Structure 1
Amino acid sequence: MRIYGDLNSGNCLKVKWVCDALALPYEWIAVDTRKAETRTPEFLALNPAGQVPVVVLDDGRPLAQSNAIIRYLGRDSDFAPRDPYLAAKMDEWLFWEQYSHEPYIAVCRYQMLYLGKPASARDPARVERGHAALALMDSHLAASPFLVGDRCSLADVALLAYTRVAPEGGFALDDYPAVRRWIAAAERALGLPAVPV
């Protein structure tokens, strides 16, 4: 399996983390999104949307969209609940992450970390929605060790990617103690080095 990705992207890291945790063999092919390497004819043949990550499976079929990829790779693992309802709850978080979390926290991080903008230049509505996402997670995690029950699932993988680096987008995590606890627990479950929050 080949993974086309950028290690600066939380969406790409999700795929790497699942492969590493499950000891799935892969070749990492670095794609620099800031150098328009996702716009080449060769890349667009794999993913016409021109986005990373993309995996090319052993049989040659490509698959894009980070949460679809981790859902496929982790489908028979301990990261995917067997109970249909819990599996649907996991999917609920995966969909929510892409619509109500990543567009706010990850975009603010990109603007500050890679474009060099100050926190004051962030779109106030985007900041408000980012804090709303963190508050919702904190409320949920105050009563549950992980997002779906008592073990790390693909939902935790998906949301960990940008939540653990939210401070790089100007989102201090001091007001979200359950999120901070969860970050440490999810990092341990995935065997990741701790990121200061």
Structure 2
Amino acid sequence: MKLYSMPSSGNSYKLRLLLALLGQAYDRIDVEYGSAALAEAHASGALPFGKAPALHLDDGRVLAESNAILCYLGEGTPYIPADAFERARMLSWMFWEQNQHEGVIAVRAALLQYPHRKADATPEALARLLDRGNGLLQIMDDRLARHDWLAGTALSLADICLYAYTHTAETRGGYDLSPFPALRNWLARIASLDGYIGLHD
């Protein structure tokens, strides 16, 4: 299979991380912002919703949206809880990641990191995102203060999903994670997993 992946994107990284943890072989096509490869992917229709990531299966089928691809790749693995309630809890965190977390944590990083977003990086916007992001990180920290993982008793897709943008919240988004000790311990647990790769690996 072939993964169209944006190297700097947490949404693409979460798939690369899961594939690494699974030891799954695949072909990767990097389509970074402003690259000729991204323009070609748009022109060829390789990105169904007009953005990376997109997974092209050997039989020609194409799947878009990072969390949908996570669920597909995670099918039949230990990363999807067997218990129906814990599986639904996993999905609730994944829905929350796209509906709440990504639109704040990832957006603040994008305003600070991508030249084409600099015009939107006003002091007011950055301050608003910082305040909202700290509230979201607190929600995670509260859960992780009582549980090692976000859903169930073991690492699940929820953890992989939310790790992607959270682990670079300090270095790319300018958040201070020192007030969130349980979250920092969770980040360390994931980084110590066999097969782990970082954003730029």
Q: Specify if TM > 0.5.
A: yes
Matched, 1:158 2:182: no
Q: Is the 8 A contact 1:184 1:194 kept in 2?
A: no
Q: Is the 8 A contact 1:112 1:119 kept in 2?
A: no
Q: Please give the root-mean-square deviation of Cα atoms over the aligned residues, in Å.
A: 2.1
Local SS of the residue matching 2:34: helix
Correspondence for 1:123: 126
Local SS of the residue matching 1:63: strand
CA distance in 1, matches of 2:145, 2:195: 23
Q: Residue 41 of structure 1: which of 40, 43, 47 is its match?
A: 43
Correspondence for 1:148: 151
Rate the CA distance shift 1:173–1:127 in 2: closer, same or farther, 3 A.
Answer: same
Q: Residue 193 of structure 2: which of 189, 192, 195 is its match?
A: 189
Unmatched tracts of structure 2, length 5 or more: none
Correspondence for 1:112: 112
CA distance in 1, matches of 2:156, 2:194: 10
State, as a whole percentage, how many aligned pairs show the same letter. Answer: 37
Correspondence for 2:78: 78
Rate the CA distance shift 1:193–1:18 in 2: closer, same or farther, 3 A.
Answer: closer
CA distance in 2, matches of 1:144, 1:153: 13
Rate the CA distance shift 1:172–1:119 in 2: closer, same or farther, 3 A.
Answer: farther
Q: Is the 8 A contact 1:100 1:129 kept in 2?
A: no
Q: Is the 8 A contact 1:3 1:54 kept in 2?
A: yes
Correspondence for 2:178: 174
CA distance in 1, matches of 2:24, 2:133: 33
Correspondence for 1:2: 2
- 1:124 Cα shift? 3.0
Local SS of the residue matching 1:4: strand
Local SS of the residue matching 2:24: coil
RCO (CA 8 Å, sep 6+): is it higher in 1 or 2?
A: 2
1:78 is matched by which residue type in structure 2?
P
Under a length normalisation based on structure 2, what TM-score does the superposition of the two structures give? 0.88
Correspondence for 2:140: 137
Unmatched tracts of structure 1, length 5 or more: none
Correspondence for 1:87: 87
